[in-house]
Structure formats: C-alpha cells, structure tokens
Amino acid sequence: MPRPTLFQNPLAFWAGSLLVTLGVFSHLPMFMMGQHTHWQMVGMPMTLEMWVGMALIPLGLVLAWWGLLPPPRSGAAGAGHALFHVADGVPLNSAHWKLVTVLIVTLAIDVMKPATLGFVMPGMGAEYQIPHTQASLLALVALTGTTVGSIAWGRIADRVGRRAAILLSALMFIGTAICGAMPTFEWNLAMCFLMGASAGGLLPITFTLMAETVPARHRGWLLVALGGIGTSAGYLIAAGAAAVLEPMFSWRILWLLGLPTGAIIIFLNRFIPESPRFLAAMGRHVEAARLLHRFAGQRQGLEPDDAQHPGPTVIDEAHPVGSLRDLLRGPHARITLALLTCGLGWGLVNFGFMLWLPTNLKLLGIDPAAASQLLARAAILALPGVLPVILLYQRWSSFKALVLFIVATALALFGFAALAFLDLRDATLTSAVTAALLVSVSGVIAMLVPYAAEIYPVHLRGSGSGAVAGASKFGGILGAVLAWLGFFDHFLLSALLLAIPLLVSAFILWRSGVETRGIGLEDIQDAMTRT
C-alpha cells in the first residue's frame, strides 16, 4: 500500500518556503543597523532590499500553495470503495503520541503570537512615542485579522486539507516576522493584521486534525490536554522570550521570532499527517486506509463503515447547515447562551485584560523588566495546572469542570481587583494571582471548544462550534476597542466588570449543562431533549 503523499509538488513547496525565508532575511540588515540606538528603527527609510523582500514573501506563499494543492478528486466518497474508521477500542500508540506532541508544539507557537502583543506594546509605544490608547490599535488590528483568518482558514482546511492549512499558516508566520523590522507604526499595523490572519484558524485546525485521527474513547481528554498544554506553553514562550531577549534586542525581537518558530512547524511536517477522513472524503481511499492502519498499530482496528460508524461526507456536497437562530431555540438555547457568553468573557479577559497586564503591573509598583520576569515565573507555575483540567474533564464531569474554571477565572480577576484596591505591592502575591489567572483562563478555553463540539447534533455541530469560537474572537475585538478607549487603564474597575459575564455564563451552564463524559453523541441529544 503506497504511503500518503506529503506534497503534491515538493519542488514548488520548498522553493516557495525558500523565497519566504529570503524575504524575511532581506529585512535583517535594516534591523542590525539599529543596534547602535538600542535597536530603535523609528524614522529609518525603507531600503531597496526590504521592498524586494516584501515582494518575495507573497510570491513564495503562492508557490508553496501550489505545491500543497491536492490532486483532483479520484472518485466520490464510497463509490466502489470500503471506507474505514479508527475503532473506539484501539489503544494509543507511538503514532498517536507523535501527532499529539507535534500538535502541542504547533498550538503553542500559535498561542505565542497573540500573547506576545502584551509584551510588545509598552516598548513599541515608547519608541514611536504614542499613547497607550493608540498602541491598543495594534491589538485591535491583530484580532480583526484573526477573525478574518478564522473564516478563511476553515475553508482552506476543507478545500486543501488540514495538513496543508497548518503548513501554509506556518509559512505566513515566517513571512510576518518582518514586523520586527518595520520603521513606522503604520507598517506594524498592516503586518500585524496579516500576522493575525495567519494565526486565525490554526487552533481549530489542530483540534480538527486531532479529533479526526485519535480513537474516540481518548478524544475528549486529549483535546483538553492539547488546548491546556498548548495554551500554557505558548504564553510561557512569549513571557520567557520577553524576559530574556527583549532587554537585549528590544521589543522587535519578539516579532522576529516568527522566523524560527514558523520554521519549526515546517521542519516537523513529516510528523503532521493529513486527516484520514479528509482523504477519504476526497476519494483518496488508499491513502486514508494506509493512515488508519498506521494509527491502529498491530491490532485490527479498522472496520467497514456502518450505521453506527458513518464515513466522512463528501466535501463538495451540499448539506443542511444550521444557523445561529437554530442554536438559540429549542433544547440547546440555554447552553448556547451560556457558551456564547463564556466565549465573549474569555475573549475580553485573554485579549484585553491579559494583554495589558504587563503595562498595568506598573500600577502595583513593578517595572516593565520585572513584570516580564514575573509573568514568566507565573507561566511556569501555571503549566502544571493543566493536569487537573484533564483529570476533572475526563474523570469528574465535562460541564461541571468547565463551570469550575469559569468561576476560578472570575475569582482571579477579583484577586487583581483586591490587589489594586488594597494597594498591595507584593511580587510573590502578584505572581500567585497571575498564575491562578493563567491556569483558569487556559482551562476554560481547553474545555470550551471540545464541549461545544460534543453538545450539538450533527446538523448544528459546525455552526455551534464556530459560533462559540467566533464569540471568543469577538470578545477579543471588543477588548481591543475598550483598550483603545482607555478601559484597561482602570485596573480595578476592569477586573471587576470582566468577571460579570463569566459568572453569568457559569450560572446558566450549571443550571442547564448536560454531561458528555463517556456518553455517545446520540445519547447526549436524548439527554438534551429531556432537560
């Protein structure tokens, strides 16, 4: 049986990757010229090499895209072929663990991008001599790009595959590293929009690839582990890079890290398989079966599709798609309201409050350098907090665990409000509250997406998951607008007000949530109708 094709045109992909990399390297001489002014480049003119590099990057992306395009459909799904699924009872093996490890690395790099914004803005504001409200436009533009990217990358993943979407996003990570060499704030805004667009859909793509590849009985806790560990690790990388590298190379180095981090994903490409279900839906049944046999290990883990194990749908076939209106009526209405409110609150906290945390820590008497070190220590303390999230979701209750971490996030915000109100300037106490916020925020997003994917019926599952993810991004955009209006300058007030939507969502979900742990999807829907 032939091996699945890694690239349809390897020469085109690697040539495109080389052009993107050269385009970034052409900006580095300009960056190095700033070493005599502590890497400040404001007022410097764009060089010819930089303009040439900016032309090479989109050319390289187009060429790489061509190299990633799949072959034409080889036949309708199921036409003369037996489709297969990974049986629920197949144990996890080395192939699964390799995939999990690579996707954690991928998600951590993805999370690092928006997390870096909070560490970039103080130094950027100082170099360009702009007020905090104007600097907040950077976050607004980045999150708008993320929202646009979420829609675009979802379609890309459905058209050319999950693997191709991940690799193309990584190349855009590399290309947008030129943010670190932009001499004007306006150029940073433009590049940051593209940076957000590159990262917009990587999170749901990694979750999709995981869900379509691992055995069903391990899917829940692995998705939670992927989200929790990847999110915490991403923030740790951002905080650590800010603490170690920013004092030596200024805030610009945090943007330039897009080159090596994106390259890591490219170099790991052989460990990123295509989704077997996507391959089967594209009519590439031999490749799909090959991948499924690899993940099944030595056991006979493949069975023909049947009524209990339906095969993948044909991608180009029109299917009824539910709308937001359908989600807000019937048995799903209250849960949808809870999840949308939670997503909105989470976006406000993660992309609003936390982005401005390095700046606001100065109000507690902590200078910027010490703030970066404090946040790095807090991220280290928060990383083991992923384990309780996994255990609680897998062994206790899916929706109760989600409620617990939503409430914990609100309590951490109350903790910051107390520090500001009492004017407590204790680094140890501040580190503990920060770690608690990182743990709780990471736990919420790690469970929110898997729960949304489980709770809706087939015809509403895509709409439901997309709406919840969209709510979190809209919360981020709203947080950026509030930052531009100066909302987060009021540290105590912002902490108190942001806790309200979280507590509301926790209350509704506690009253209306349905258990999904270890329960079949059809049984979940039966429980929903009885609630």
CB distance 320 to 490 below 8 Å? no
| Distance between CA atoms of residues 294 and 340, nearest Å | 38
Residue with tokens 């279900």: 277
| Distance between CA atoms of residues 271 and 94, nearest Å | 11
Supply 393's token pair. 């979701």
Angle at 211 between CA 336 and CA 402, to 5 degrees: 40
> Cβ atoms within 10 A of the Cβ of 256, count?
20
CA distances from 125 to 37, 134, 361 (A): 16, 8, 16
Give residues with Cβ within 8 angstroms of 115, minimum separation 6. Answer: 234, 235, 237, 238, 239, 354
Helix axes 202-211, 458-484, angle to 10 degrees: 150
Residue 79's pLDDT is: 43
Model's pTM, two decimal places? 0.75
CB distance 489 to 363 below 8 Å? no
State the fold for domain 91-298: Growth Hormone; Chain: A; (1.20.1250)
Where in the chain is CATH 1.20.1250.20?
Answer: 91-298, 322-531
Residue 62's pLDDT is: 93
Residue 356's pLDDT is: 73
Residue 314's pLDDT is: 47
Residue with tokens 């493949």: 302
Residue with tokens 């899916």: 398
Residue 163 parent element (H or E): helix 162-175
What are the beta bridge partners of residue 302? 86
Residue 530's pLDDT is: 65
Give residues with Cβ within 8 angstroms of 394, minimum separation 6. Answer: 220, 221, 224, 517
Give average pLDDT by consecutive 10-residue segment, the chain, 531 residues.
65 93 90 77 84 92 88 51 57 86 88 79 82 74 77 72 87 88 84 79 76 75 80 81 85 88 90 82 76 70 58 46 64 87 90 74 64 65 73 85 94 87 73 80 82 68 68 81 77 86 93 76 64 58
Residues in the chain: 531
What residue ranges in 258-369 does DSSP mark as E strands? 302-304
Q: Which of 183, 257, 187, 250 is nearest to 36 (CA)?
A: 250
Half-sphere exposure in the Cβ direction for 484 (13 Å, CA): 12
| Distance between CA atoms of residues 231 and 145, nearest Å | 19
Helix axes 216-244, 202-211, angle to 10 degrees: 150
CB distance 181 to 30 below 8 Å? yes
Identify the CATH number of the domain defined by range 322-531.
1.20.1250.20
Residue 379's pLDDT is: 63
> Cβ atoms within 10 A of the Cβ of 530, count?
8
Phi, psi of 31, deg, nearest 5:
-65, -45
DSSP-based three-state secondary structure for 268 = coil
Give residues with Cβ within 8 angstroms of 513, minimum separation 6. Answer: 335, 338, 399, 400, 402, 403
| Distance between CA atoms of residues 501 and 343, nearest Å | 9
| Distance between CA atoms of residues 46 and 153, nearest Å | 31
Give residues with Cβ within 8 angstroms of 507, minimum separation 6. Answer: none
CA distances from 171 to 241, 259, 262, 283 (A): 21, 9, 6, 28
Dihedral sign computed on CA atoms, order 488, 490, 494, 495: positive
Phi, psi of 342, deg, nearest 5:
-65, -45
| Distance between CA atoms of residues 510 and 498, nearest Å | 19
Supply 314's token pair. 């044909």
What are the beta bridge partners of residue 85? 303
> Residue 236 is which amino acid?
L
Residue 320's pLDDT is: 44
Dihedral sign computed on CA atoms, order 218, 223, 228, 231: positive
| Distance between CA atoms of residues 433 and 19, nearest Å | 45
> Cβ atoms within 10 A of the Cβ of 362, count?
14
> Cβ atoms within 10 A of the Cβ of 365, count?
13
